[in-house]
Structure 1
Amino acid sequence: MSDHHHHTHQNKKYEAKTLWVVLLTAVTMAVEITFGITTKSMALLADGIHMGSHVLAIGLSWLAYVIVRKVSASQKYNGDSNKILSLSGYSSGLILLIFAFFILIEAFQRFINPEVIIYKDAILVAIIGLIINIASAFLLHHDHEHSDHNIRAAYLHVIADALTSLSAIVGLIVAMVWDIAIIDPIVAVISSIVIIKWSIGLLKDSGKVLLDIDDNE
């Protein structure tokens, strides 16, 4: 019984944290898209749209906690609420994987058709994005990383975004200073590979819970 109360309290805490992150990410997305349109910067517009994918995925994580809270209070539900969180984590992992491949395809297209990059604007917004992602990562930081695939999925999304922002800052500065535009897509490819590795790990772990696969067997 005490274990049930512990999980309920933990889920409420994670629900509040994920909601804050959704709101933070949504505001950043709106700023980036607006700034991208007004400055006619495709780099900023693309980054804002990319941020939108994380609003969707982290919003899914928040919704999962709301559903778990509702069904846990219902006398009719006798299932395992952890499976709802794992299903959300699995779905979020798929979204992360799809967008990692999308970034990879875009990067390869940049190799073939290089574009003029508005470096200063792109660096500025990448720095703002990095600050927001660091704040979100602190909000979503948790001790029991493997016990809740839903909060882990949300955490991986903000860490993945922080990685892309950080690598973009480094890549853009190097490209701007030494006038080597190819650095930008190279950094994007490296970031995509790391994100793909993370998302596959999340899919495996949450998939095991959904299929009732015990690692000890």
Structure 2
Amino acid sequence: MGHHHGHNHTHEHSDLKGRNLVISIILNIGITTAQVIGGIFSGSLALLSDALHNFTDVISLIISYVANKLTKKKASFQKTFGFKRAEILAAFINASALIIIAVLLIIEAIKRFQNPEEIQSNLVIWLSIIAILGNGFSVLLLKKDAQANMNMKSAYLHLFTDMMASVAVLLGGLLMKYYQLYWVDSVLTFAIAIYLIWMGFDLLKDSTKVLMLFTPDTIPVKKIVKEINAFDSINNVHHVHIWQLNEDEIHLEAHIDFNEDITLSQFDEVLRDIEDFVLEKYQINHVNIQPEYGKEGPKDIIVQD
């Protein structure tokens, strides 16, 4: 078995990522508290829904922070992969929370639309401005990490959607203040919820694929098998598994039937060639090959274990 390890995150970067999460958590606790109090006193469902969304931000950021810390823990005999998938699990939980909260908001918005209530718009306006500034700062803190990490992307999406929701609440507050259009509060809540579902679905789908050990969409299994089969000493590549363990690792496992009864040192040379090939062309950085010669059994590319 051979391995190439491709780790893109240094310890210093990981510490910075954790610090940015802590800052975002503190900011969102403050925003959530202010919006809950303001929503109760103003009577604004949109403000309360934004507060509820902010509360899910706090939970998601805490989950992301814990997951970020867990990934640093070393592997053991009972946990041979360590906690490398903690961040993927966190992304799945966060995306699920987004969709569940969105459905609850839609139900409440429909009820409120049927019975609009007068709302203290001044409080809505000022609190939405505070939320925009706080979430905007958090978005800037996490933007860079979100580009390369699914867990950080989930936290980033929570904050970004909440910032946009706060912008919508601000516009709604202005409409209520100057035009007394109180039904706008329910419409905005409904729009925020739809946006949450749209943003959360892709992340839920992507994290589910990783948790289910599906082959990444960018990996053409048949093409890779054909290319490895073209190696001179190889007769057949079969029983192939390709999966993504976490953000940094893609694994390939296969059985290879050789043309001749080669020595172990010759196999090592072929293995190094395969490792270099799949790493350079497909970013597959963990390779596990079982060599065979004249062994009977299924020779299909995909064999059900």
TM-score in terms of structure 2 length: 0.63
State the shift of 1:210 in Å.
Answer: 1.1
Q: Structure 2: which 5+ residue stretches go unaligned? A: 221-305
- CA distance in 2: counterparts of 1:140 and 1:34, whole angstroms: 27
Is contact 1:133–1:161 with CA below 8 Å preserved after alignment? Answer: yes
2:29 aligned with 1:52: no
Residues 156 and 46 of structure 1: CA distance in aligned 2, closer, same or farther (over 3 Å): closer
Question: How many residue pairs end up in the alignment?
Answer: 212
CA deviations 1:70-106 (Å, max 9, x no partner) are x23x544421644211110000111111111122122
Residues 186 and 36 of structure 1: CA distance in aligned 2, closer, same or farther (over 3 Å): closer
- CA distance in 2: counterparts of 1:129 and 1:78, whole angstroms: 42
CA deviations 1:167-206 (Å, max 9, x no partner) are 1111221232222222222222222212101100100111
2:125 aligned with 1:117: no
Is contact 2:50–2:162 with CA below 8 Å preserved after alignment? Answer: no
Is contact 2:76–2:82 with CA below 8 Å preserved after alignment? Answer: no
State the shift of 1:14 in Å.
Answer: 1.9
Match of 1:97 in 2: 99
Q: Greater relative contact order: 1 or 2 (C-alpha under 8 angstroms, separation 6 or more)?
A: 1
**Counterpart amino acid of residue 103 in structure 1:** L
Match runs of 1:1-217 below 5 Å: 3-4=6-7, 6=9, 8-35=11-38, 40-43=41-44, 47-69=50-72, 71-72=73-74, 74-76=75-77, 77-79=79-81, 81-142=83-144, 145=147, 147-213=148-214, 214-215=216-217, 216-217=219-220
TM-score in terms of structure 1 length: 0.86
**SS of aligned partner of 1:117:** coil
**Counterpart amino acid of residue 100 in structure 1:** A
Is contact 1:86–1:148 with CA below 8 Å preserved after alignment? Answer: no
Is contact 1:123–1:173 with CA below 8 Å preserved after alignment? Answer: yes
Q: Which runs of 4+ in 1 moved over 4 A?
A: 34-37, 44-47
Residues 49 and 192 of structure 1: CA distance in aligned 2, closer, same or farther (over 3 Å): closer
Residues 30 and 85 of structure 1: CA distance in aligned 2, closer, same or farther (over 3 Å): same
CA deviations 1:4-51 (Å, max 9, x no partner) are 3735444333222111111111122233334556xx334355544442
Q: Percent of pairs identical after alignment?
A: 25
**Counterpart amino acid of residue 89 in structure 1:** A
Which segment is superposed worse, 176-185 or 25-34? 25-34
**SS of aligned partner of 2:182:** coil
Larger Rg: 2
Structure with more helix by fraction: 1
